[in-house]
Structure 1
Amino acid sequence: MDGHDSEDTKQSTADMTAFVQNLLQQMVVFFGFYVFLGLGIVTSIVDDMGGRINELEQSINDLRAEMGVEGTPPPASKSGDEPKTPASST
């Protein structure tokens, strides 16, 4: 073998290494963009749903106010020690 074949092999290896590194970098950018885009879409959906939940809560509160219901019902007892009072039927 002469030194020329060795240089060609080294150059081919260097070219292949540069090609693979470039390809991997492009893949990272490509997939990173789509992950970022996906996160943006998910964030948008969550924000939209949060807004809708707030609107629904406000609508419920408005209806309660129209019906003359004051405040919100007390939270259920977690301990279960307190006796429950039946609702009056008058």
Structure 2
Amino acid sequence: MAKTDPKTVRDLTSVVQTFLQHMQDKFQTVSDQIIGRIDDMNSRTDVLEKNMADLMTQAGVEELEGENKIPATQKS
């Protein structure tokens, strides 16, 4: 048997607890990275939406309800 093989129930419990703690730490790290990426994506989406609205304003396009858009100069 290898030096790290558990020989008693207490040893096995310790190995399992260490393994579970290691897995929890890895899960937390990955979870934090995903949340960080989502926050970054949300910020980029907000900037993109603002830039699109600014471009629409500069082009003289108004946003109407739904997806219909008409130039402001063609409004009745």
Q: TM-score interval w.r.t. the shorter chain? A: 0.7 to 0.9
1:20 — aligned with what?
12
Q: Deviations over 1:6-44 (max 9, x none)?
A: xxxxxxxxx611100000110111000000000001001
User: Structure 2: where are the runs of 5+ without partners?
Assistant: 1-6, 68-73
Q: Could you list the runs of 4 or more consecutive aligned residues of structure 1 that deviate by over 2 angstroms after TM superposition?
A: none
Aligned residue pairs, count: 62
Aligned partner of 1:36 among 28, 31, 37: 28
> What TM-score comes out, normalization by structure 2 length?
0.73
User: Structure 1: where are the runs of 5+ without partners?
Assistant: 1-14, 77-87
Partners of 2:46 and 2:8 lie apart in 1 by: 56
Q: Which has the higher contact order (CA 8 A, sep 6+)?
A: 2
Identity %: 19
> What TM-score comes out, normalization by structure 1 length?
0.63
Identify the structure with the greater strand proportion. 2
Q: CA RMSD in A?
A: 1.6
Shift of 1:74: 2.2
